[in-house]
Structure 1
Amino acid sequence: MQTIWIVVMLISIAPSEIYTMTKYDYNHVLDLSLRFYEAQRSGKLPKDNRIPWRGDSALNDKGQRGEDLTGGYYDAGDFVKFGFTMASTITLLAWGFLSYRDAYIAAGQEKYGLSAIKWASDYFIKCHVNDTEFYGQVGDFTLDHKFWGRPEELNMSRPAYKIDTEHPGSDLAGETAAALAAVSIIYKFDDPDYSAKCLMHARQLYQFATQFRGLYHEAIIGAAQYYESTDYGDELTWAAAWLYKATGEVRYLDDAEHHYMMYRLKERPNEFFYNKKVAGVQILLAQLTHQQEYVEAAQAFCDFTVDLQKRTPKGLVYIDKFGTLCHAANVAFICLEAADAGISPLKYQEFARSQIHYMLGDAGRSYVVGFGNNPPQQPHHAASSCPDVPEPCGWQEYQHDGPNHQLLKGALVSGPDENDYYLDKRRDYVYNEVTLDYNAGFQSAVAGLRHLQLLEEAKNATRYKSKDK
């Protein structure tokens, strides 16, 4: 009888009011996710560092001619800085911030959201040493994976790898151009000089990407083993669309539409992540132009995702065993963006809500470190596995069968398998990996859900005032 009563109660509630009733504190989740990014910072940490177990690290990161390459983010539980996934992360974070800045303000996280984005954009500007040279990786994965410990105690060679005219990377340059274009919009009124600086680098990187074509992992040897890029047409289109959004210059829209046709991006994709931007391209172009072609493409992707994509028994969209939750969060976020363009808003908003709530606890447990019921205790993350200084840290912490010594607040783990099975073991990275890009769509989707709450709270307040009159 209790179940029937709950169903009847929900049916009697207006759909809009459900958004204000959630049992999850989105403000708290945004706070935690931003702390995860702070835990991933490389370089000299700011005075307002909120992660007590982190300190300055990798202060000697340099380019091949001695260029200063300090800063940026460590990619995952290791200490390599991968430009391709870092840029993809920042594009998604910036898109979510632009769309749902009110959520960050309401959560008291606007300052930290800006800081998280700028920490990477500052680094990208350092890496762009001239018009046609860009450092896309610092650190060697093979060397790095022989070390398990604190980034503050790194004692290995950290070579830097770049793309240039002889070794181009249109995907890397294009994605970074998109990220910096998005950042330039954020800072257009807050800091016009910084906005102009980001936009200048975005323009130059886009020109580099289009003039010298190639896949970045063919220039940066070893990248293909971890973050292969299978094409660059989507990044060229993505970059042009973001530059059009940033500048309003029609030539960038013309470029985006040309790339879209040339690289046959109108076909429906099955996923959206760092290596496959097509769905994001379709939705961004639908927002920018409202042209039927892009609207229909965006709807085809989201309808397929919501209605036909494979799911686990408990309802999680299942796209890949690596980054299971990341894939679901990414499509939740961009379908929220599709909803913002007026495409099946209630359907896509409810879908996004179901996916994010699965991650926060609806599946029976939380998959966000430090949040909710039975969250992960052993994320695959070297630094957080270490005890407090001066205790030593090494491979014994990797082997230790117990909670990480430090709480990696806000990290979204890779997640369960297709049957909702999850193993909370540090050594099993398939379930417990954490990375920059895993949190990006997730954080932006949470911001989107908080934004919907704020809209409904405002409507309800207006409704109640009208009744009082």
Structure 2
Amino acid sequence: MALSHYFTFGLILLSLFSTSLLHCHAFFPAHYNNLIHHRHHPRFARHNYRDAFTKSILFFEGQRSGKLPSNQRMTWRRNSGLSDGSAMHVDLVGGYYDAGDNVKFGFPMAFTTTMLSWSVIEFGGLMKGELQNAREAVRWATDYLLKATAYPDTIFVQVGDAKKDHSCWERPEDMDTPRNVYKIDKNNPGSDVAAETAAALASASLVFRRIDPSYSKVLVMRAIRVFEFADKYRGSYIKGLRRFVCPYYCSFSGYQDELLWGAAWLHKATKNPMYLNYIKVNGQTLGAADYDNFFGWDNKHVGARILLSKAFLVQKVQSLHDYKGRADNFICSLIPGSSSANYTPGGLLFKMGDTNMQYVTSTSFLLLSYAKYITSARKVVLCGGTIITPKRLRTIAKEQVDYLLGDNPLKMSYMVGYGQRYPQRIHHRGSSLPSIATHPAKIQCSAGFSIMNSQSPNPNILVGAVVGGPDQHDRFPDERSDYVQSEPATYINAPLVGTLAYLAHSFDQL
């Protein structure tokens, strides 16, 4: 490198360092991270991030299964699934419906729980009055996951016959389709869903560590046991349950990513060197260095890399040095103009036609989290010869959220109940059918299809629900039958909770 380049590079680093001092939220030990945060003071924000943040958490109340509490705010919902588990003489009441149907799928529910927990762990210190609601959203899931993992070497991974459920269009309060229970065990392993469940329990234990230590201990002890089962009896849950879980939540990426992800969360939750050693010994075979840049309910590799890079950058765990480079590779793949970065003409990150918004929300969360970590370590990302600063990562994340909230060619918010224009006909049974309050009589299995196929707006507003989103050309038909674009899901919202908390705080709205 020429001397002038060294000089230029030195000026850039000096500039970055000065900027970091102005914006720094983490030149402090890791346990201060929730107290001291990056803050800038812009004069103007196009969006009410606080409103969107509040609604992003409220959405989860509309997805609740089981006996609803007295403080339920989504009041058009009522109790449902009160006999879940009785077919196998177990209590599986509670948890979340994953999307617009009435099945409880354990795999996406566990990932939703992990991402809700990570949102609170990373940005809970900014959530102010909404922190309790966020914790309650986590606990509604973990209470259920504790029931689903109550027996050693067994996990109940699904309640409901998906094919029969999907042949009906009925409210969860009315459902009369079979509530079959499906499980994994020693003879029919499922390392993917088991390790994700371990990640969910371990991450949630950190959410409750200070405010409810006894509950936190129950969660982490269960996480340890569930991870042991996932690792000892290896295999994908689709081998034994394919006809019940596919094509809905097939584990296309295998189970290796979940084992790495689960071990990463247990390392963070327990500080037990056993998990660090596990990651060092097994990382390569579990795909730590694979070049993939998806992060969602199925593939956790990128999330594991970002999480483990935090241990290196913030906690100074030197043996995880390589994960910084692997995380950087993912970041570089997102930079507009790079060969692997796909964006719609309107500027939306586009990963996949099916429920693309889940990749938008999960990626935005990772960008903000990674910006936090590299700021703490006074690092940057090098993409070829280009220096990518933490500020750039925050800008990309904000642009994606702004598109979601209405800065797009259709001027439409893809969050229900936010803004002047948002989807009116979302693919969601409870939202689309008249509520119990307005129509107490039962709506039979097939009777609801006349409404599903109509153009009438949904009568019950599922506030905060983020739908699958527009296609690669920024088009969105707002058709109830179009589940790819019009169906909301818990795993779309879960990472968005943390992202919106950060943005609301950054613009002095919290």
Q: Given the two structures, how large is their TM-score scaled by the length of structure 1?
A: 0.91
1:305 paired with 2:334, answer: yes
Greater RCO structure (CA 8 Å; 6+ sep): 2
State the partner residue of 1:124. Answer: 145
Whole-Å Cα distance in 2 between the matches of residues 210 and 263 of structure 1? 11
Q: Answer whether contact 1:81 1:138 (CA < 8 A) is retained.
A: yes
Change (3 A) 1:113 1:383: same
Give the deviation of 1:442 after TM superposition.
Answer: 2.1
1:347 pairs with one of 392, 395, 403: 392
List per-residue Cα deviations over 1:293-334 (Å, max 9, x = no partner): 111111110121123211111111110011122111111111
Question: Tell me, what secondary structure is at the counterpart of 2:134?
Answer: helix
Give the deviation of 1:63 after TM superposition.
Answer: 5.4
Give the deviation of 1:134 after TM superposition.
Answer: 0.5
Q: Answer whether contact 1:180 1:201 (CA < 8 A) is retained.
A: yes
1:147 paired with 2:203, answer: no
Instruction: State how many pairs are aligned.
Output: 441
Q: Answer whether contact 2:479 2:486 (CA < 8 A) is retained.
A: yes
Give the deviation of 1:450 after TM superposition.
Answer: 2.8
Whole-Å Cα distance in 2 between the matches of residues 185 and 414 of structure 1? 30
1:203 paired with 2:224, answer: yes
Whole-Å Cα distance in 2 between the matches of residues 388 and 126 of structure 1? 29
State the partner residue of 2:32. Answer: none
- Is the deviation greater in 419-428 or in 161-170? 419-428
What amino acid maps onto 2:221 in structure 1? M
Whole-Å Cα distance in 2 between the matches of residues 326 and 170 of structure 1? 23
State the partner residue of 1:436. Answer: 490
Written as runs of structure 1 = structure 2, the 5 A alignment for 1:25-44 is 25-44=48-67
Whole-Å Cα distance in 2 between the matches of residues 18 and 271 of structure 1? 33
State the partner residue of 1:462. Answer: none
1:378 paired with 2:425, answer: yes
Question: Tell me, what secondary structure is at the counterpart of 1:135?
Answer: strand
What amino acid maps onto 1:266 in structure 2? A
Give the deviation of 1:27 after TM superposition.
Answer: 1.7
1:85 paired with 2:114, answer: no
State the partner residue of 1:405. Answer: 459
Whole-Å Cα distance in 1 between the matches of residues 87 and 75 of structure 2? 33
Written as runs of structure 1 = structure 2, the 5 A alignment for 1:194-343 is 194-221=215-242, 222-230=244-252, 231-290=254-313, 291-307=320-336, 308=338, 309-342=341-374, 343=380
Q: Answer whether contact 1:73 1:120 (CA < 8 A) is retained.
A: yes
Give the deviation of 1:18 after TM superposition.
Answer: 6.4
1:359 paired with 2:404, answer: yes
Question: Tell me, what secondary structure is at the counterpart of 1:162?
Answer: strand
- Runs of 4+ aligned residues of structure 1 deviating over 4 Å after TM superposition are 14-20
Give the deviation of 1:158 after TM superposition.
Answer: 0.5
Question: Tell me, what secondary structure is at the counterpart of 1:263?
Answer: coil
5+ residue gaps in structure 2?
1-21, 24-38, 314-319, 375-379, 381-388
Change (3 A) 1:52 1:345: same
Q: CA RMSD in A?
A: 1.8
Give the deviation of 1:443 after TM superposition.
Answer: 2.1
Whole-Å Cα distance in 2 between the matches of residues 224 and 386 of structure 1? 27
Q: Given the two structures, how large is their TM-score scaled by the length of structure 2?
A: 0.83
List per-residue Cα deviations over 1:77-128 (Å, max 9, x = no partner): 10000000001011111101111012321xx211110100000000000011
Whole-Å Cα distance in 2 between the matches of residues 60 and 433 of structure 1? 26
Give the deviation of 1:22 after TM superposition.
Answer: 1.6
Q: Answer whether contact 1:361 1:373 (CA < 8 A) is retained.
A: no
- Is the deviation greater in 182-191 or in 339-348? 339-348
What amino acid maps onto 1:135 in structure 2? F
Question: Tell me, what secondary structure is at the counterpart of 1:153?
Answer: coil
2:71 pairs with one of 28, 44, 48: 48
Whole-Å Cα distance in 1 between the matches of residues 296 and 42 of structure 2? 27
